[in-house]
Structure 1
Amino acid sequence: MTEVRLRGVTAGYGREAVLDDVDLVVREGTTTAVLGGSGSGKTTLLRVVAGFLRPRSGEVVVGDRTVAGDGAWVPPERRGVGYVRQEGGLFPHLSVAGNIAFGLPWPRRRHRDRVLELLDLVGLPSDLADRRPDQLSGGQQQRVALARALAPRPGLVLLDEPFSSLDTALRAATRDATARALRATGATAVLVTHDQSEALSFADQVAIVGGGGIRQAGPPRVLYGEPVDAEVAEFLGDAVLVPGVSSDGRVLCEFGALPARGYVPRGDVEVMLRPEQITLTAAGAGQLDAVVLRVAYFGHDAVVELDLPDAASKHGIRARVVGHQPPEPGDKVGLVVVGPVRAFPQR
Structure 2
Amino acid sequence: MTELRIRAVTAGYGRDAVLESVDLTVPEGTTTAVLGGSGSGKTTLLRLIAGFLRPSGGEVSVGGRTVAGPGVWVPPERRGVGYVRQEGGLFPHLSVAGNIAFGLPWPRRRHRARVLELLDLVGLPASMADRCPDQLSGGQQQRVALARALAPRPGLILLDEPFSALDSGLRAATREATARALRAAGATAVLVTHDQGEALSFADEVAILGAGRFRQVGRPAEVYREPVDAEVAGFLGDAVLLDGIASGGAVSCVLGSLPVQEGVPDGHVLVMVRPEQIALTPAGGGHLDATVRAVSYFGHDAIVELDGIGDGIGSAPSGTVVARVLGQDAPRSAERVGLSVAGPVRAFPVGPSVARPLSGTAAR
Matched, 1:305 2:287: no
Alignment partner, residue 327 of structure 2: 323
Aligned counterparts of 2:245 and 2:169: Cα–Cα separation in 1: 44
CA distance in structure 1 between the partners assigned to 2:242 and 2:297 by the alignment: 24
Counterpart of 1:248, as a letter, is G
Q: Would you say the 8 A contact 2:37–2:194 is kept in 1? A: yes
CA contact (8 A) 1:254 1:311 kept: no
Q: What per-residue deviation string (whole Å, max 9, x for no partner) do you get for residues 147-185 of structure 1?
A: 000011111000000001101111111000000000101
Give the secondary-structure state (helix, strand or coil) at the position aligned to 2:328. coil
Query: Offset of 1:105 from its aligned partner?
Result: 1.2
- Contact 2:279–2:339 (Cα < 8 Å) also in 1: yes
3-state SS of 1:129 partner: helix
CA RMSD between the two structures: 1.0
What is the CA distance between 1:118 and its match in structure 2? Answer: 0.4
2:4, 2:61 within 8 Å by CA — same for their partners in 1? yes
Give, in whole Å, the separation in 1 of the partners of 2:76 and 2:265: 46
2:207 is the counterpart of 1:207: yes
Gap regions ≥5 residues in structure 1: none
1:189 and 1:197 map into 2 onto residues whose CA distance is: 17
- What CA distance in whole angstroms lies between the structure 2 residues aligned with 1:38 and 1:277? 29
**1:276-323 Cα distance to aligned partner (Å, 9 max, x none):** 000001222222110111110000000111112345322220110001
Kindly tell me: are residues 262 and 153 of structure 1, through their superposed partners in 2, closer, same or farther at Cα, counting changes over 3 Å?
farther
Unaligned runs of 5+ in 2: 351-355, 357-364
Q: 2:269 aligns to what?
A: 269
Determine if contact 2:247/2:265 at 8 Å carries over to the other structure: no
Shift of 1:263: 2.8
How high is the TM-score relative to the length of structure 2? 0.93
Equivalent residue for 2:347? 343
* 1:127 aligned residue: 127
1:83 and 1:311 map into 2 onto residues whose CA distance is 58
Q: Counterparts in 2 of 1:177-196, with a 5 A limit?
A: 177-196=177-196
Give the deviation of 1:23 after TM superposition.
0.6
Counterpart in the other structure of 1:86: 86
**Residue 198 (structure 1) shift:** 0.4
- For 1:28 and 1:251, locate their aligned partners in 2 and report how far apart those are by CA, in whole Å: 41
Q: Percent identity?
A: 74
Amino acid across the alignment from 2:129? A
CA distance in 2: counterparts of 1:293 and 1:117, whole angstroms: 55
Give the corresponding residue for 2:14: 14
Q: Tell me the secondary structure at the aligned position of residue 60 of structure 1.
A: strand
Aligned-partner residue type, residue 335 of structure 1: L
Contact 2:11–2:57 under 8 Å retained in 1: yes
Give how far 1:122 is off: 0.4
Alignment of 1:22-33 (within 5 A): 22-33=22-33
Compared CA separation, residues 17 and 262, structure 1 to 2 (3 A): farther
Match of 1:243 in 2: 243
